């Protein structure tokens, strides 16, 4: 199963100025997050990002913030480790419009919520074993498809990061890389933005 760009939303978790210096392979991780944000901007993929306790951990690192602005991304400030606990799920799957109808309409408790038009969540972030993990597990519980971009995720230690990947894979998330996302979103060398996307990857 390939990632469908028309079904995708991008979520980037907590790439913050006071957090990133302590992350394993932080420069590479931020560079890949920037690539994802720029790809999302090119392909008009709705993009969201989070900041955990920004008054303590700082705001998003400048290079990534610039790319997120380009993607017209929406920011969620949070204190809970899972962004779903702070309302991210409502942004990713807006509440269904009320059903119009007569008295024979189904009662509310029997109405099924409308499926999200974009149910594939491409997600990456820090720390992989805390905020990223808890957000991704909650997304799976909410019946989203979750694609974790491993080379854009980190923790303070490699062991914690890898433990998060093991747990996420076991829970049903797909583990991918930045290049997998790029080429699955684009699918063909004839795509109008293929050359721009290829330049981002190279």
Three-state SS letters, 124-170:
EEECHHHHHHHHHHHHHHCCCEEEEEHHHCECCCHHHHHHHHHHHHH
Q: How confident is the model at residue 32 (pLDDT cuts 50, 70, 90)?
A: very high
Tell whether the torsion through CA atoms of 31, 173, 145 and 20 is positive or negative.
Answer: negative
pLDDT cut 70: percent of the chain above it: 90
Cα–Cα distance, 82 to 131 (Å, whole number): 6
pTM of the model: 0.90
pLDDT cut 90: percent of the chain above it: 87
pLDDT at 69: 97
pLDDT at 104: 55
Q: How confident is the model at residue 49 (pLDDT cuts 50, 70, 90)?
A: very high
- Bridge-based pairing of strands 8-13 and 47-52 is parallel
Residue 27 has pLDDT above 80, yes or no: yes
Length of the chain: 202
Q: How confident is the model at residue 105 (pLDDT cuts 50, 70, 90)?
A: low
Cα–Cα distance, 6 to 122 (Å, whole number): 12
pLDDT at 183: 96
Instruction: Name which residue leads in pLDDT, 132 or 100.
Output: 132
């Amino acid at each position: 199963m390939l990632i469908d760009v028309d079904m995708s939303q991008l979520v980037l978790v907590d790439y913050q100025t006071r957090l990133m210096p302590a992350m394993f392979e932080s420069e590479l991780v931020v560079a890949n997050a920037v690539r994802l944000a720029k790809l999302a901007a090119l392909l008009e993929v709705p993009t969201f990002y989070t900041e955990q306790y920004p008054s303590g951990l700082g705001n998003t690192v400048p290079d990534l913030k610039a790319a997120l602005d380009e993607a017209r991304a929406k920011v969620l400030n949070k204190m809970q480790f899972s962004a779903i606990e702070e309302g991210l799920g409502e942004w990713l799957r807006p509440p269904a419009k009320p059903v119009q109808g007569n008295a024979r309409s189904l009662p509310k408790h029997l109405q099924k919520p409308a499926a999200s038009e974009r149910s594939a969540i491409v997600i990456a972030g820090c720390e992989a074993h805390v905020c990223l993990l808890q957000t991704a597990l909650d997304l799976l519980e909410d019946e989203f498809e979750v694609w974790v971009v491993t080379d854009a995720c980190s923790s303070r230690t490699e062991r914690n990061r890898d433990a998060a990947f093991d747990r996420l894979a076991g829970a049903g998330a797909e583990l991918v890389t930045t290049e997998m996302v790029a080429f699955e979103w684009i699918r063909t060398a004839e795509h109008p933005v293929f050359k721009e996307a290829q330049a981002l990857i190279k």
